[in-house]
Amino acid sequence: MSRRPLIAGNWKMHTTAQEAQQLAAAVVQAAAKAADRDVMIAPPFTALAAVSKTLSGSGVILGAQNVHWETQGAFTGEISGAMLQDLGCKMAIIGHSERRQVFGETDAMINSRIGGALQSGLVPVFCIGETLEQRDADQTLQVLENQVRAGLAGVELTDGAGLVVAYEPVWAIGTGKTATEMQAQEVHGFIRGLLGDIFEKNIAADMRILYGGSVKPENIDILMRQEDIDGALVGGAALNAKSFERIICFQ
């Protein structure tokens, strides 16, 4: 079993190309202080080309915030995996709760996007998570199982490094509320078991499962000490160079 930690920053709809390059340069410096882990940043599409240049030769991974399943065609407003590859992207966030809730993306669309990403050689960062209502109704594990099974239907993998899962409880995203390390570990353990059911056991054992939801310098260390938490998907705190550096340098 070898799971290299992954700290990923989702910049959402923030930064111009110039601002993105400045922040990316700071991330490059921070990542150089922690060479035993992977760091990924996902700027807006409009900044990918500029940030790709900043990251060149640094080892920091360039990610996109979404990807379409076709390589080209009449899909206004969408971006294909081939286009992202062309800019140097290696990963793509798929199924973020904002895409599901604000833009109505369904499990079927997310499943197609995952297929498209894999076909074009991008590693999907597949996001799942329950709402507060669902957690309060004790539906968390069922909701997650449904999302995982639907999102990964028909997906074939030869190794665990080919896909990353991000558990992001919707009630913890951008709210300042974080799942406790015990709540997060319980869910991560459950997800790993489920992945072992869908794929080979060794693939599930090698697959990285990130936690996301108000990750910050104050809570990263305890989260990363949990057995099945292999990294973090960070929103707000990834926009602040100092905070993100501290998260990258978790102990």
Residue ranges in contact with ligand PEP by CB under 6 A: 10, 168, 173-174, 212-215, 233-237
Please identify the residue of the shown chain whose CB is closest to the bound ligand PEP: 235
Partnered with residue 7 across adjacent β-strands are 39, 232
- CB nearer to ligand PEP: give 100 or 192: 100
CA max distance for the chain: 48
Q: Least distance to ligand PEP from the beta carbon of 27, Å?
A: 15
Tell me how far apart the alpha carbons of residues 26 and 114 are, in angstroms, rounded to a whole number: 30
CB 139 within 8 A of CB 130: yes
To the query of whether residue 14 is one of the catalytic residues in this protein, the response is no
Helix (H, G, I), strand (E, B) or coil at 207: coil
To the query of whether residue 96 is one of the catalytic residues in this protein, the response is yes
Helix (H, G, I), strand (E, B) or coil at 78: coil
CB 51 within 8 A of CB 40: no
Residue of 68, 105, 168, 188 marked catalytic: 168
Q: Least distance to ligand PEP from the beta carbon of 53, Å?
A: 25
Residue of 68, 96, 105, 130 marked catalytic: 96
Tell me how far apart the alpha carbons of residues 104 and 151 are, in angstroms, rounded to a whole number: 15
- CB nearer to ligand PEP: give 199 or 244: 244
Closest among 68, 32, 67, 62 to 50, alpha carbons compared: 62
- CB nearer to ligand PEP: give 109 or 238: 238
Q: Are strands 6-10 and 38-42 parallel, antiparallel or unpaired?
A: parallel
- CB nearer to ligand PEP: give 115 or 236: 236
Tell me how far apart the alpha carbons of residues 157 and 195 are, in angstroms, rounded to a whole number: 11
Q: Least distance to ligand PEP from the beta carbon of 230, Å?
A: 15
Q: Least distance to ligand PEP from the beta carbon of 173, Å?
A: 4
Residues serving a catalytic function are 96, 168
